[in-house]
Chain A
Amino acid sequence: MVTMKKTASQKLKLGVFVVVGTLLLIAALYSIGNRQNLFGSNIKIMTQFSNVNGLELGNNVRYSGINVGTVSKIQMIGDNQIVVEMLIQEKIGKHIKKDAVATIGSDGLVGNMIVNIIPRESEKPPVVYGDTINSYSKIGTDDMLTTLNVTNENAALLTADLLKITTEILEGKGTLGLLINDSIMAKDLKLTIYELRKASTGASQAIIELKDIISSISESESIAGVLLSDSISGQKMKTIVNNLEQSSVEITEVSKNLNIVLKDIKEGEGALNYLSNNPDLVKNIDSTMNNIKQGTQRFNQNMEALKHNFLFRGYFKKLEKEKNKGSKN
């Protein structure tokens, strides 16, 4: 009886042991399967990439940072197109719009590859079973390294050049080298800077004074004030300036005409050119004028002689009487 009791107790304990152990195993398997979306209802959506960067079956799919599914199939179609099939939880599927974009990223710096579905705030309908969403290929690590390689090469060239430049500077070559190494130049520069400082102080003072002058200009009592502030005077000034401008245009025109006339006079064959350019004519005119002068003197003498002639004496007396009469009146 005791043996039977012991056996029954052993069987119970063994039963509990086996059941608990099996349940633990089943719970673990279910938990793992649940995280890989093997249980529950899922929808299948697809996307296409030209490079999947080491994405594998079972990698997580994230939507707005939440794990919502797994990669269920990766298939090559064409030469550089890879179709990635994803199983997404049905309850999440209604939040993913048809214009959502899939990208391939990494879970942390050294983590597994993941598919990120980026949401779009649009009014498009949600994805359904078998839909294909757009994809966006980010720059891969290899591409980044290639770019970095080029950058490094450029940096090496730049540093070589910089080294050359700094060596020359240290040796005192070139303007910068002189600036750094020449003590006399440094003194001169120091002096120049001192003078510049002085000049700038003076300029500053002058500006302050100028400011005072400007502020002291009365708006109505001085010419400058009127010039600066009176709009009527300003309008008049404008008219004057316009007139001046017009006059200057006309003067220019006149001077042009004068130039033409002078040119004609100078180069033409008219009387004026002859008058101005022929020296013989001047001599002739001069002698003619002398002759006329002499002739006039002789004519005056003749006229005086005529006054004393009896034939004309009466006429002259008559003229003198009328003249006197007019002066009395």
Chain B
Amino acid sequence: MTQSLRIVERTKAFFTEIGDLSFFAGRFFKEVFTRPFEFQELLRQCYYIGNRSLLLVGVTGFILGLVFTLQSRPTLMEFGAESWMPSMVGISIVREIGPVITALICAGRIGSGIGAELGSMRVTEQIDAMEVSGTNPFKYLIVTRITATTLMLPILIVFGDTIALFGSAIVENLKGAVSYQLYFNQVFDAIEYSDVIPATIKSFFFGFAIGLVGCYKGYHCKKGTAGVGEASNSAVVYTSMLLFIIDFIAVFLADIFFEI
């Protein structure tokens, strides 16, 4: 009896959280188009989210390109199809692996950072103080961060894809004696707009999801230092899950509209 009650309670809590998150997103869309606009804070957040994540995304992307190519080479060589490597790696990175891996890295770094930052602000009652002083904390803290993640993630993904392709090109050049020119020629021969456009649109949603969940978890942080850790942790977990759900929906829609 207690077990079933617990399940009901958890289900109820889950749907309540989904509903709360939806209201939170709705409030964001309401606040984002109304004055005053916090441009300075937006730029600062863009800098911290974009520039500060570039190194991590770049290193991850480079290693991703290297490893992906090294791991795929033997299989393709078995079929005598190593000449297909640039096309295969190019399409895989641009269409799927690049955006998803970059988004997951950013979910770990940015999502947890936002969750912890806002959580600690909530715990130390800074947000309450802002409300008392007449500043709209949602506009200043949430809208800027979600907008920054939404705008910066596509650019980070472009950097991540480019660096990953360079990593792959280096392996192909060293192992397969494929010139860089030939490699990128084959990559751009294989990639089409139907690969780039859905991936780019998808990356905006990834950014939005990272910012939204991170801000939501931090903004609704429970009292105490444990609450900050939980907010940070759950922001990463929920964001990662949400990223895969968005990815599935994006692939599904791209299949309908672009016939990939």
* Pair A24/B159 contact, Cβ less than 8 Å: yes
In chain A, positions 1-18 with a C-beta closer than 8 Å to chain B are: 7, 10-11, 13-14, 17-18
Given contact pairs A14-B50, A17-B155, A25-B200, A36 touches B192 in the complex (Cβ within 8 A) = yes
* In the bound complex, CA of A242 to CA of B119 (Å): 135
Given contact pairs A17-B155, A21-B155, A24-B159, A10 touches B44 in the complex (Cβ within 8 A) = yes
B196 in contact (CB, < 8 A): yes
A-B residue pairs, 7 tightest by C-beta: A21-B155, A10-B47, A14-B47, A31-B188, A25-B158, A21-B158, A17-B51
* In the bound complex, CA of A28 to CA of B91 (Å): 13
Q: How many Å from the CB of B244 to the closest CB on chain A?
A: 24
Q: How many Å from the CB of B19 to the closest CB on chain A?
A: 35
* In the bound complex, CA of A33 to CA of B196 (Å): 11
Given contact pairs A14-B50, A35-B188, A35-B189, A28 touches B196 in the complex (Cβ within 8 A) = yes
Q: How many Å from the CB of B132 to the closest CB on chain A?
A: 25
Q: How many Å from the CB of B257 to the closest CB on chain A?
A: 15
Q: How many Å from the CB of A12 to the closest CB on chain B?
A: 10
**Partner of A11 from B43, B154, B192 at Cβ < 8 Å:** B43
Name the residue among B43, B50, B155, B159 with the largest chain A CB count within 10 angstroms: B155
* In the bound complex, CA of A153 to CA of B213 (Å): 66
* Pair A58/B200 contact, Cβ less than 8 Å: no
24 CB-based A-B contacts, threshold 8 Å: A7-B40, A10-B44, A10-B47, A11-B47, A13-B47, A13-B51, A14-B43, A14-B46, A14-B47, A17-B155, A20-B159, A21-B154, A21-B159, A22-B155, A24-B159, A25-B154, A25-B200, A28-B188, A29-B196, A31-B188, A32-B192, A35-B189, A36-B192, A36-B193
Given contact pairs A14-B46, A14-B51, A58 touches B192 in the complex (Cβ within 8 A) = yes
* In the bound complex, CA of A31 to CA of B47 (Å): 29
Instruction: Give the number of residue pairs across the A-B interface with Cβ within 8 Å.
Output: 57
Residues of B within 8 A of A (CB): 40, 43-44, 46-47, 50-51, 54, 154-156, 158-159, 162, 188-189, 191-193, 196, 200
Q: Which residues of B contact A17 (CB under 8 A)?
A: 50-51, 54, 155
* Pair A32/B155 contact, Cβ less than 8 Å: no
* Pair B189/A24 contact, Cβ less than 8 Å: no
Interface residue total, chain A, C-beta cutoff 8 A: 21
Closest to B148 in A: A14
Q: Which residues of B contact A32 (CB under 8 A)?
A: 188, 191-193, 196
* Pair A18/B155 contact, Cβ less than 8 Å: yes
* Pair A7/B44 contact, Cβ less than 8 Å: yes
Closest to A57 in B: B259
* In the bound complex, CA of A11 to CA of B156 (Å): 17
Q: How many Å from the CB of A136 to the closest CB on chain B?
A: 26
Closest to B155 in A: A21
Given contact pairs A25-B200, A29-B196, A32-B193, A18 touches B162 in the complex (Cβ within 8 A) = no
Q: Which residues of A contact B158 (CB under 8 A)?
A: 21-22, 24-25, 28
How would residues 55 to 67 of chain A score, 1 for a CB under 8 Å from any chain B CB and 0 otherwise?
0001000000001
* In the bound complex, CA of A17 to CA of B152 (Å): 9
**Partner of B193 from A10, A20, A33 at Cβ < 8 Å:** A33
| Given contact pairs A18-B50, A24-B159, A29-B196, a sample of 10 additional A-B residue pairs in the complex whose CB atoms are under 8 Å apart | A10-B47, A13-B47, A14-B46, A14-B50, A21-B155, A25-B158, A28-B191, A31-B188, A32-B193, A32-B196
Q: Which residues of A contact B50 (CB under 8 A)?
A: 14, 17-18
* In the bound complex, CA of A22 to CA of B159 (Å): 9
* In the bound complex, CA of A24 to CA of B94 (Å): 13
Q: Which residues of B contact A13 (CB under 8 A)?
A: 47, 51
* In the bound complex, CA of A35 to CA of B187 (Å): 11
* In the bound complex, CA of A198 to CA of B155 (Å): 95
* In the bound complex, CA of A28 to CA of B199 (Å): 13
* In the bound complex, CA of A33 to CA of B43 (Å): 32
Q: How many Å from the CB of A111 to the closest CB on chain B?
A: 9
* Pair B193/A29 contact, Cβ less than 8 Å: yes
Closest to A31 in B: B188
Name the residue among A13, A17, A22, A24 with the largest chain B CB count within 10 angstroms: A17
Q: Which residues of A contact B192 (CB under 8 A)?
A: 32, 36, 58
Closest to B185 in A: A35
